[in-house]
Amino acid sequence: MDVRDTQIADSWVGVVGSGPPLIVIHGGPGLEHGYLLPWLLPLADKHTLYFYDQRGCGRDRTPPGKVTVAALHGQLETIARALSDKGSLSLFAHSWGAYLVYELVNRMRDIEIEAFIALSPIGLTRERFRASGERIVSRVPEEVIEGLPELAGRGDDGRSVMEALAPFYQADPTNPVDVHFRSYREEVYQQIDGHLEAFDYRDIGPTLPAKTLLLYGDQDVELPEETSEVHPFVRVRTLEQCGHFGFAERTGDFLGAMRTFLSNGT
């Protein structure tokens, strides 16, 4: 399927498929939409998928020094409002992207969101976000960490860094699934991490759409207990023998869960 380029306000958006809109919010901070795109394309038979790059990432040319948390919130809100009249609006977020959705639903109570699915969503507080970062660092061998500065200096927009780290996000780093990263903007990560104020979304449950699903790998760096406060209000599912990239590690199970939930909420 061909991805069509469009603009919503000042954001590049890639559009593919037909049917109700499904906005795809990538992880990071510092990544871009491309690592998710090929894995989610099968869903374009029933939904129109809208991929976008967060400020300072991928095809968005905002200088890293001007990327703010408020700008990321405002960008997603602008896109969501623009698409809210195109049918039942659903959201899919990976990892860090869930944080942006938590703030979005606080800001957009006048817009109905049909469904929200988060894969490996970050914890509900700043402290838990930091803890997940510490968990991934603890998995990476020292020799890999020592080699990251050299990889970062290759001038390939951060791809080599993410290729080196990606296996350790997965359940089996000795036999990893190839997740293709086009770029990783370390400057954006540092900018956001350095300015991310304390947040606490432990009361977010009742604000989320009635149809909300949280998906985790059973060997994920993100832990279900770190969003346990919202669990009484939402569905939670674990993908077996899976790490942080469930869309690639357990593609069939992941797509099956997505299709079923988007169709009937179970």
- pLDDT tens per residue, range 161-207: 999 999 999 999 999 999 999 999 999 999 999 989 999 999 999 99
Q: Quote the mean pLDDT of the chain.
A: 95
The structure tokens 């099968």 sit at 42
Residue pLDDT, tens place only, 14-64:
999 999 999 999 999 999 999 999 999 999 999 999 999 999 999 999 999
Confidence class of residue 258 from pLDDT cuts 50, 70 and 90?
Answer: very high
Q: Can you state the angle between helices 69-83 and 186-195, rounded to 10 degrees? A: 100
pTM of the model: 0.97
Q: Is 119 helix (H, G, I), strand (E, B) or coil?
A: strand
Residue 1 has pLDDT above 80, yes or no: no
Predicted pLDDT at 85 = 87
- Topology given in CATH for the domain delimited by 4-264: Rossmann fold (3.40.50)
Predicted pLDDT at 57 = 97
| Number of other CB atoms surrounding residue 137 within 10 Å | 12
Is residue 118 within 8 A of residue 263, CB to CB? The reply is no
Task: Using only the alpha carbons of the chain, give its radius of gyration.
Answer: 17
Query: For residue 216, what are the β-bridge partners?
Result: 238
Query: For residue 24, what are the β-bridge partners?
Result: 51, 92
Cis? peptide before 173, omega within 30° of 0: no
Q: Please give the structure tokens belonging to residue 179.
A: 């997740």
Is residue 215 within 8 A of residue 244, CB to CB? The reply is no
Confidence class of residue 111 from pLDDT cuts 50, 70 and 90?
Answer: confident
Q: Which has more confidence, 29 or 85? A: 29
As a dihedral over the C-alpha atoms of residue 207, residue 130, residue 167, residue 244, rounded to 10 degrees, the angle is -20
Cα separation values, 99 from 120, 199, 206, Å: 11, 10, 16
Q: How far apart are CA 45 and CA 259, in angstroms?
A: 11
Residue 141 has pLDDT above 90, yes or no: yes
Q: Which amino acid is at 68?
A: T
Could you state, in order of their start, the residue ranges of all structural domains in the chain?
A: 4-264
Confidence class of residue 87 from pLDDT cuts 50, 70 and 90?
Answer: confident
Q: How far apart are CA 3 and CA 17, in angstroms?
A: 8
Q: Which amino acid is at 42?
A: P
Query: What is the full DSSP assignment across 205-239?
Result: GGGS-SEEEEEEETT-SS-GGGGGGGGGGSEEEEE
Residue 67 has pLDDT above 80, yes or no: yes
Q: How far apart are CA 223 and CA 217, in angstroms?
A: 9
Mean pLDDT of 254-265: 94
Residue 114 has pLDDT above 90, yes or no: yes
Confidence class of residue 106 from pLDDT cuts 50, 70 and 90?
Answer: confident
Q: How far apart are CA 186 and CA 152, in angstroms?
A: 9
Residue 155 has pLDDT above 90, yes or no: no
Q: Please give the structure tokens belonging to residue 260.
A: 């079923």
Handedness of CA 250, 14, 262, 123 (dihedral sign): positive
Share of the chain above pLDDT 70, in %: 100
- Residues 42-51: b if buried by 16+ CB within 10 A, e if exposed: ebbeebbbbb
Q: Please give the structure tokens belonging to residue 187.
A: 């400057």
Cα separation values, 170 from 101, 188, 251, Å: 24, 23, 13
Mean pLDDT of 94-115: 93
